[in-house]
Amino acid sequence: MAHVLVTGGSGFIASWCILELLQSGHTVRTTVRSAEKEQLLRQQLHAAADFDDARLTVVLADLQSDAGWADALTGCDYVLHVASPTLRSGGASEEEMIAVARGGVLRVLSAARDAGVRRVVLTSASGAIVYGHKDESRPFTEEDWTDVTADIAPYQKSKTLAERAAWQFIRDESGGLELAVVNPTAVIGPLLGPDDPPSLRTIRGMLRGDLPAAPPFGTGWVDVRDVADLHIRAMIDPAADGERFLAIAGRSLRVIEVARILRQRLGNEAAKAPTWEMPLLLARALSIVNPALRSLRPQLGHHFPATSAKAENLLGWRPRPIEDSIVDTAQSLLAHDAVGRDRSTDSAERR
């Protein structure tokens, strides 16, 4: 079994990666930005699985600082770089977002190379693949890259440029370090604890009645448990070296389709989910004055088709039916009393 560092251990995807690693017998070290997060993380993991607590070490490190990374990586065979730096002030410019995202990736890669790590698995996003294209007549694949010169959100641009910087580092400065990249679509699935990941905000908003009409777009969706499984496969399979892997369960679903699944499967618990899709012209007009729709303008009218055939064929990855994941997400939000919350949403989990 291997020694694995998982960055950003308190995050939605990272915590499921840690759980998957521990259940597979690996020894895990994970980074958090504040010491207070360690106890809650351990409690959540122990509530989900029985494991030897000595196989999990929690250390402090921040992607915007060099401090702590050399110690965090000492003795590690692999790194799952899941954490994504976020600028929580809310007023960050596009240039700042790009610089922070790129800098965080390069900081981890450099420290991993210097520590003699075998392979880094980077959590990128489908946002580095599917945006800025006019032609959606075929599913996007790992050969595609988001067009950063198009009208796209700063977050997608930062993820694209950060991943490109990672591949450039491997070409120029790797020193033998291997890289594999996972590009998830919209990540949903059950919570490990009473946290509030931004990636669940669409389903949370439907349950809460925040969406009187579904915005007119579609996207890929994938279960966080399957994303964690893909990370582990990309970590240990020799065939994953130098490869990107899109993660989508089945086909792209429009937001209104997700709402229908919730209403059909959950009945009264999803009674506030929208029953109709807003016309595209109306959505575009309202996006001028409505902040929620304004943030969705790059998505309106698109359906971002994608395929995970590469991960399925090369690594044997098999995602669960997305309909089940949608229901599991809603039931978990309800069970953790997370539907009524209205916290500010960071970009770390948006795909």
Average pLDDT, the chain: 93
The string of pLDDT tens digits covering residues 131-141 is: 999 999 999 99
Average pLDDT over every residue of 203-211:
94
Looking at residue 279, the DSSP 8-state letter turns out to be P
The string of pLDDT tens digits covering residues 142-168 is: 999 999 999 898 989 999 999 999 999
Pick the closest to residue 274 from 229, 350, 192, 210 (CA basis): 210
Of the listed ranges 181-185, 192-196, 236-240, 330-334, the least confidently predicted one is: 192-196
Report residue 239's pLDDT band, with 50, 70 and 90 as the boundaries: very high
Q: Where are the domains of the chain?
A: 3-197+220-253+305-322
Vertex 90: Cα angle to 84 and 96 (nearest 5): 60
The string of pLDDT tens digits covering residues 61-100 is: 999 999 999 999 999 999 999 998 765 445 678 888 899 9
Residue 344 has pLDDT above 50, yes or no: no
Looking at residue 267, the DSSP 8-state letter turns out to be G
The string of pLDDT tens digits covering residues 7-62 is: 999 999 999 999 999 999 999 999 998 888 899 999 999 999 999 999 999 999 99
Of the listed ranges 177-191, 224-238, 330-344, the least confidently predicted one is: 330-344
**Helix, strand, coil % over all residues of the chain, rounded to 5:** 45, 15, 40
**At which residue do the structure tokens 């998505």 appear?**
299
* pTM for this entry: 0.94
Catalytic residues: 159
pLDDT at residue 348, as a whole number: 35
Report residue 199's pLDDT band, with 50, 70 and 90 as the boundaries: confident
Average pLDDT over every residue of 192-202:
83
Report residue 339's pLDDT band, with 50, 70 and 90 as the boundaries: confident
Let me know: does 54 contact 93? Beta carbons within 8 Å: no
Average pLDDT over every residue of 177-200:
91
pLDDT at residue 346, as a whole number: 39
The string of pLDDT tens digits covering residues 109-134 is: 999 999 999 999 999 999 999 999 99
Radius of gyration of the chain (CA): 19
Q: What is the CATH number of domain 3-197+220-253+305-322?
A: 3.40.50.720
pLDDT at residue 343, as a whole number: 46
pLDDT at residue 97, as a whole number: 87
Residue 124, phi then psi, degrees to nearest 5: -100, -130
pLDDT at residue 69, as a whole number: 96
Please name the residue ranges forming H helices in the chain: 12-23, 36-48, 69-73, 94-114, 154-173, 201-208, 224-236, 255-266, 280-286, 291-295, 309-315, 322-335
Average pLDDT over every residue of 257-279:
97
Let me know: does 214 contact 300? Beta carbons within 8 Å: no
pLDDT at residue 307, as a whole number: 98
pLDDT at residue 86, as a whole number: 60
194 or 179, higher pLDDT: 179
Report residue 310's pLDDT band, with 50, 70 and 90 as the boundaries: very high
Report residue 198's pLDDT band, with 50, 70 and 90 as the boundaries: confident
